[in-house]
Structure 1
Amino acid sequence: MTVPSDRRSRKRLATRQSISIAATRLFMQRGFDHVTVDEIASAADVGRMTVFNHFPRKEDMFFDREEEGREMLRNALQRREPGVTPVETLRLLAHRLAAEDVPYLRFSVRSQAFMATIEGSETLKARARAIRDELAQTISLALSESAGREPADPDADLAAGLLLATWTTAFVQAHRSFQLKQDAREATAVFLGLVDQGTLGLKAAMAGTPYA
């Protein structure tokens, strides 16, 4: 996430992060549906309206990295190396993020608790599905822009859907691997192996398009 340069923006970002951290801790301890906004405000030492100023919906406090993920995908495609296809660019992105040990690709006891919190709430599961759909639109648009095609390009839509299916499967299987073996390195290897395998199929499906 880009750190704002001015003091006021930095303070606002710090407040947002403080609310998200407090909310996520409570959600993971007690379950999303059993935590109130007033309790989150108290834990973060802010007012109720301050919480809503930063997060219009309660579930946004849990999925607070959503926009960061979109920006990361857009930037990867906008800045891809000459001669590297969009599909390959995103495969390489997965490997880079794993090497950098970013929080959302970290397989640990804490990440298991994060996933369990989602599974325990219909609201969070519904929001996760909505985020996935929104990500598909973001990727499709970024792909079409990277190839100089019009928005809503059918090939870009197909590529985005296949890509998300690959990453989602890889992510879920990596968490299952960690749950069984408690080995973060092996879980990461499972994730990257499935991303690589899925990318091969994606390239075959997109053969003849500017995306592969």
Structure 2
Amino acid sequence: MIEQTPDRRTRKRLATRQAISDAATRLFMDRGFDRVTIDEIAEAADVGRMTVFNHFPRKEDMFFDREQEARDLAFAAVRSRPSGTSPIQALGDLAHQMVEQPRSAFPLFKGTRTFVETSLASEALKARARQMRDDFVRALAAVLAEAAGRPADDADAYLAATLIASTWSAAFARAHAQQRETGDVEAAKATFLGMIDRGIIGTHAAMADTPYAAGA
């Protein structure tokens, strides 16, 4: 299938969005999320205030602008998993892939320290992160149910999604805390993957009698 090249208008819109995101990120990392105003972001990106809101309805959306990309990675891992790999294991394997083959958008863990520290310093960002986690669990549950041929509101899918999201959240938080305390990025990666692996084993055990723990 041949991918179509975005037209000029679309390219311009995407470039403007990226410029706003880049300007906001620089300001957030330098000064902290709560100390930066929309007007300052607009000025740094050389756009109008309304242009900022046209691309990002909320200030928090500029900070978490990679959220959809992260979701897409998780959903693709489930949908394109190799034969014999359970949906649960596919999400554990994704963690290893992200650490062993870092993506520019998710440079675990060296490149995410400032991002995490900035988010933890803001009550608004912590609240938004909790909301995004709840939204992600619901969306992941639907993807897991789809993969298993079950209804979108399947209770087992929701439980599996909750356990997996909790595992990732705990592993990510502990690894970053360790990195902050020791400065050892490699040890943080090992802690992250160790917790992920244990969480995946536990999730498999909890979901043993469901299709979410079975290989395709």
Same fold, judged at TM 0.5 (above): yes
Deviations 1:68-113 (A, max 9, x none): 11111111111111221101111111111112213435222x5222
Deviations 1:89-146 (A, max 9, x none): 11111111112213435222x5222122112211111000001001101110010000
C-alpha distance in 2 between matches for 1:70 and 1:50: 26
Cα pair distance change 1:91/1:58, threshold 3 Å: same
C-alpha distance in 2 between matches for 1:33 and 1:4: 40
- Superposed, which structure 2 residues align to 1:29-108 within 5 Å? 29-102=30-103, 103-108=105-110
Partner residue in 2 for 1:199: 200
C-alpha distance in 2 between matches for 1:25 and 1:119: 17
Cα pair distance change 1:157/1:54, threshold 3 Å: same
Deviation at 1:203, TM superposition (A): 0.4
C-alpha distance in 1 between matches for 2:4 and 2:142: 26
Whether the aligned pair in 1 keeps the contact of 2:98 and 2:108 (CA below 8 Å) is no
Could you tell me which amino acid in structure 1 is paired with residue 20 of structure 2?
I
C-alpha distance in 1 between matches for 2:158 and 2:184: 35
Deviation at 1:189, TM superposition (A): 1.3
Could you tell me which amino acid in structure 2 is paired with residue 92 of structure 1?
D
Is the aligned partner of 1:181 residue 2:187?
no
Is the aligned partner of 1:27 residue 2:28?
yes
Equivalences, count:
209
Query: 4+ residue runs of structure 1 moved beyond 4 angstroms?
Result: none
Whether the aligned pair in 2 keeps the contact of 1:107 and 1:184 (CA below 8 Å) is yes
Cα pair distance change 1:161/1:11, threshold 3 Å: same
Deviation at 1:151, TM superposition (A): 0.7
Deviation at 1:12, TM superposition (A): 2.0
TM-score, scaled relative to structure 2: 0.92
Deviation at 1:4, TM superposition (A): 7.6
Q: Among the aligned pairs, what percent are the same residue? A: 53
Whether the aligned pair in 1 keeps the contact of 2:142 and 2:153 (CA below 8 Å) is yes
C-alpha distance in 2 between matches for 1:11 and 1:181: 43
Whether the aligned pair in 2 keeps the contact of 1:140 and 1:159 (CA below 8 Å) is yes
Deviation at 1:192, TM superposition (A): 0.8
Could you tell me which amino acid in structure 2 is paired with residue 59 of structure 1?
E
Cα pair distance change 1:15/1:100, threshold 3 Å: farther
C-alpha distance in 1 between matches for 2:154 and 2:148: 10
Cα pair distance change 1:189/1:5, threshold 3 Å: farther
Cα pair distance change 1:106/1:86, threshold 3 Å: same
Q: Which runs of 5+ in 2 are unaligned?
A: none
Partner residue in 2 for 1:5: 5
Deviation at 1:11, TM superposition (A): 2.6
Whether the aligned pair in 2 keeps the contact of 1:4 and 1:10 (CA below 8 Å) is no
TM-score, scaled relative to structure 1: 0.93
- What secondary structure sits across from 1:104 in the alignment? coil
